[in-house]
Amino acid sequence: IVLNLINYKYSSRVGTSRRHAFLYIYMEQIGSNFHLTLVSKMAGADGDDSLYPIAVLIDELRNEDVQLRLNSIKKLSTIALALGVERTRTELLPFLTDTIYDEDEVLLALAEQLGNFTMLVGGPEYVHCLLPPLESLATVEETVVRDKAVESLRKISQEHSPVDLEVHFEPLVKRLASGDWFTSRTSACGLFSVCYPRVSSTVKAEIRQHFRTLCSDDTPMVRRAAASKLGEFAKVLELDYVKSDIISLFTALASDEQDSVRLLAVEACVSIATLLPQEDLETLVMPTLRQAAEDKSWRVRYMVADKFSELQKAVGPEITKNDLVPAFQNLLKDCEAEVRAAAANKVKEFCENLPEDNREQIIMTHILPCVKELVSDTNQHVKSALASVIMGLSTILGKDNTIEHLLPLFLAQLKDECPEVRLNIISNLDCVNEVIGIRQLSQSLLPAIVELAEDAKWRVRLAIIEYMPLLAGQLGVEFFDEKLNTLCMAWLIDHVYAIREAATCNLMKLVEKFGAEWAQNTIVPKVLGMANDPNYLHRMTTLFCINALSEACGQDITTKQMLPVVLKMSNDQVANVRFNVAKSLQKIGPVLDSNALQTEVKPVLEKLATDTDMDVKYFAQEAISVLALA
């Protein structure tokens, strides 16, 4: 009966209402609740497991609640597994093929599942059974669903035997490529490259023809899809066809009327240039690339800037020297900030990859002047893009050039009005450090760093704090105590919690570097002093510091110096301090010896466990149980 029910359901696309009506009749027929039957069936250990999953699936798949439909689709593999390969092929897949009108979210899950279904339909021999539902999914409107279907199709294409590929897969690609609505043609673009290498030469010729047609499709959506797959397709083609077919397509797409198509051709340019022998590049690729670098649309120029490093590697050192250096200079001076920022992002990589023989000379005479201008650019994104890479130049240019030419730029950016620029510089201090040494660095940059430690933007302060352990390690104890210690302590009473938190963490790292003795002399007294602060937030900071420091400081300091302070704070008026005392005790408990735990900690926790505040009680009880003091 269940089977009939299923057949009925997928042979006619019944809406939910009719389904319910049908179910109702069905339930009347067997005179008991449908679900109950199933439940009891499952309860029986040797009930026929193969019967219920498909019923559940169908019921849930048609459920009005999308979430429930989604659930069953996501568990499709379980169901297929339970059904066995045969019934998955003959019942489940036809049913699913028929289901494709659902919410996009459900379809997305379906498209993803089907990509992993090969074993569930009986292995590579039967993998083509998965093609019909995926073909339908590859034609839906929603891009994410379609993309996922194509991804799954690409995946299972690998599991097709060469014969199956020609008999089942390639016809599907052809159908998609000549579909009426743009969605199927768009999807087809992503499938050519996966079947091309494994089919006969006649079929190959057909595939090339289809791709050519799609490259000149009259909907821009399809041309964009084709352009974005051009590079990938070129890679699987024989070199002769790359030269004869791909280049003409590339040239055509690169001069498309829509800039959204042209910019995708730039991406393809990288792959195509990699495939061609050096001597052909000049005639086949460079005219188009030059044109793209000076395109009237900033989007295309942006793309060139964005792909510059890849392009540079693809065309090799000679063309780089003659063509790309001037092109790069132009991009750095582009009239649109978007383009300048993209180019600025590539400054370091571009310089790194210049041919070593005259790298320094090219940088100093051609690139650095542009970089200098960008430091005072009017657009903050440009400056911040530059700031994120500019420090990298120091490794390339060496110590002397760095001190003479780059340091002034770093300093200027450290003082930039835009916090992001400052932040990017600080975050990259380590590469300069390697080149000029921390002494030199600290002399020239320290004043600026100190200034930033009090920056109005707390994220900038946070970034500085994160650099403290590194700086401290390299500067040594003395220098640190002299210049930076006060800063570190000041952060503990910052008015932003995130800074106070980072400051506590920073202290812990410093103690790990400088040792317990240093902590005992410099940090601990100050931290403990804050326990008497009138501001309860500062009192809590003491507790947080103790949490962080106890382990690094060791049992002795913790028991003798910290513990008394913590215990004393258990009488604090503010409940938050009290329950943090409980939390702290739980935290430092493991560092203490059992004597201290029993005689000092236990009574205090017991007292807190009877506190009037429920949170205090809760945490005290938790500490008691964790420390096993009960």
Partner 1 sequence: MSAISASEKVDGFTRKSMRKAQKQRKSQGSSQYRTQSAPVELSPLPQLKDAPSTEQQELFTKKLQQCCMLFDFLDSVMDLKSKEIKRATLNELVDYVSTNRGVLVESTYPEITNMICTNIFRTLPPSDNPDFDPEEDEPTLEASWPHVQLVYEFLLRFLENPDFQPSIAKRHIDQKFVLQLLELFDSEDPRERDFLKTILHRIYGKFLGLRAFIRKQINNIFLRFIYETEHFNGVAELLEILGSIINGFALPLKAEHKQFLMKVLIPLHTAKGLALFHAQLAYCVVQFLEKDPTLTEPVIRGLLKFWPKTCSQKEVMFLGEIEEILDVIEPTQFKKIQEPLFKQISKCVANPHFQVAERALYFWNNEYILSLIEENIDKVLPIMFGSLYRISKEHWNPTIVALVYNVLKTLMEMNCTLFDELTSSYKADRQQEKKKEQERDELWKKLDELRLSNTNLFQNNSRGLPCVQNNNNNNNNNNNSNNDNQDKSAEAAAVATDNKDPEVKDPDVSVAASESTPCAK
User: What mask of x and - would describe binding to partner 1 in positions 526 to 555, judged by CB under 8 A?
Assistant: ---------xxx--x---------------
92 binds partner 1, rule: CB under 8 A: no
If the CB atoms of residues 169 and 619 are measured against partner 1, the closer one turns out to be: 619
If the CB atoms of residues 149 and 342 are measured against partner 1, the closer one turns out to be: 342
580 binds partner 1, rule: CB under 8 A: yes
Residue 26 tokens read as: 């069905």
Give the C-alpha separation, 176 to 361, whole Å: 54
Residue 105 tokens read as: 């979210």
Smallest gap from Cβ 176 to partner 1, in A, equals: 17
User: What mask of x and - would describe binding to partner 1 in positions 286 to 315, judged by CB under 8 A?
Assistant: ----------xxxx--x---x---------
**Among 114, 246, 249, 337, interactor with partner 1 by CB under 8 A:** 337
If the CB atoms of residues 443 and 625 are measured against partner 1, the closer one turns out to be: 625
The answer to whether residues 255 and 289 touch, using CB atoms and an 8 Å cutoff, is no
259 binds partner 1, rule: CB under 8 A: yes
Residue 577 tokens read as: 């301090």
Q: What is the SS3 string spanning 509-531?
A: HHHHHHCHHHHHHHHHHHHHHHH
221 binds partner 1, rule: CB under 8 A: yes
Identify residues 19-78 at the interface with partner 1 (CB under 8 A). 33, 35-36, 38-39, 42, 49, 52-53, 56, 60, 64-65, 67-68, 70-71, 74-75, 77-78
Residue 538 tokens read as: 């500062």
426 binds partner 1, rule: CB under 8 A: no
If the CB atoms of residues 204 and 307 are measured against partner 1, the closer one turns out to be: 307
If the CB atoms of residues 170 and 416 are measured against partner 1, the closer one turns out to be: 416
Of 84-92, 140-148, 155-163, 395-403, the segment contacting partner 1 by CB under 8 A is: 140-148
If the CB atoms of residues 166 and 430 are measured against partner 1, the closer one turns out to be: 430
If the CB atoms of residues 330 and 520 are measured against partner 1, the closer one turns out to be: 330
Of 213-221, 349-357, 433-441, 587-595, the segment contacting partner 1 by CB under 8 A is: 213-221
260 binds partner 1, rule: CB under 8 A: yes
Residue 204 tokens read as: 């190959």
Identify residues 71-90 at the interface with partner 1 (CB under 8 A). 71, 74-75, 77-78, 81-82
User: What mask of x and - would describe binding to partner 1 in positions 374 to 413, judged by CB under 8 A?
Assistant: -----xxxx-xx--x-------------------------
Smallest gap from Cβ 247 to partner 1, in A, equals: 25
Give the C-alpha separation, 269 to 258, whole Å: 17
In one-letter notation, the amino acid at residue 394 is S
If the CB atoms of residues 453 and 460 are measured against partner 1, the closer one turns out to be: 460
Of 149-157, 246-254, 415-423, 477-485, the segment contacting partner 1 by CB under 8 A is: 415-423
275 Cβ neighbours under 8 A, 6+ residues apart: 234, 235, 239, 242
If the CB atoms of residues 317 and 392 are measured against partner 1, the closer one turns out to be: 392
279 Cβ neighbours under 8 A, 6+ residues apart: none
Burial of 24 (0-12, 13-18, 19+ CB in 10 A): exposed
**For the chain, what is the largest distance between any 2 Cα atoms, rounded to a whole number of angstroms?**
93
550 Cβ neighbours under 8 A, 6+ residues apart: 558, 562, 587, 588, 591
Identify residues 187-206 at the interface with partner 1 (CB under 8 A). none
318 binds partner 1, rule: CB under 8 A: no
The answer to whether residues 171 and 135 touch, using CB atoms and an 8 Å cutoff, is no
Size of the site for partner 1 (CB under 8 A): 90
Alpha-carbon separation of residue 610 from 84, 146, 540 (angstroms): 61, 62, 21
Smallest gap from Cβ 206 to partner 1, in A, equals: 28
Smallest gap from Cβ 240 to partner 1, in A, equals: 34
| Secondary structure letter of residue 119 according to DSSP | G
**Among 338, 352, 466, 551, interactor with partner 1 by CB under 8 A:** 338
420 binds partner 1, rule: CB under 8 A: yes
If the CB atoms of residues 235 and 583 are measured against partner 1, the closer one turns out to be: 583
Smallest gap from Cβ 205 to partner 1, in A, equals: 31
Identify residues 339-358 at the interface with partner 1 (CB under 8 A). 341-342, 345
Tokens 């670098």 found at: 293
- DSSP for 368-396, written as a single string: HHHHHHHHT-S-HHHHHHHHHHGGGHHHH
Intra-chain end-to-end CA distance of the chain, in Å: 62
Alpha-carbon separation of residue 280 from 274, 285, 304, 526 (angstroms): 11, 8, 20, 71
- DSSP for 553-591, written as a single string: HHHHHIIIIIHHHHHHHTT-SSHHHHHHHHHHHHHHGGG
Tokens 């597994």 found at: 81
226 binds partner 1, rule: CB under 8 A: no
**Among 22, 26, 182, 467, interactor with partner 1 by CB under 8 A:** 182
As a residue count, the chain comes to 630
User: How many CB atoms sit inside 10 A of residue 1's CB?
Assistant: 10
**Among 614, 625, 626, 630, interactor with partner 1 by CB under 8 A:** 614
**Among 91, 159, 232, 336, interactor with partner 1 by CB under 8 A:** 336
Smallest gap from Cβ 422 to partner 1, in A, equals: 11
Smallest gap from Cβ 379 to partner 1, in A, equals: 8
- Selection from 239, 175, 183 nearest residue 206 by Cα: 175
**Among 14, 119, 412, 489, interactor with partner 1 by CB under 8 A:** 119
613 binds partner 1, rule: CB under 8 A: yes
Give the C-alpha separation, 423 to 427, whole Å: 6
574 binds partner 1, rule: CB under 8 A: yes
If the CB atoms of residues 83 and 409 are measured against partner 1, the closer one turns out to be: 83
If the CB atoms of residues 95 and 619 are measured against partner 1, the closer one turns out to be: 619
In one-letter notation, the amino acid at residue 441 is L
Give the C-alpha separation, 337 to 248, whole Å: 32
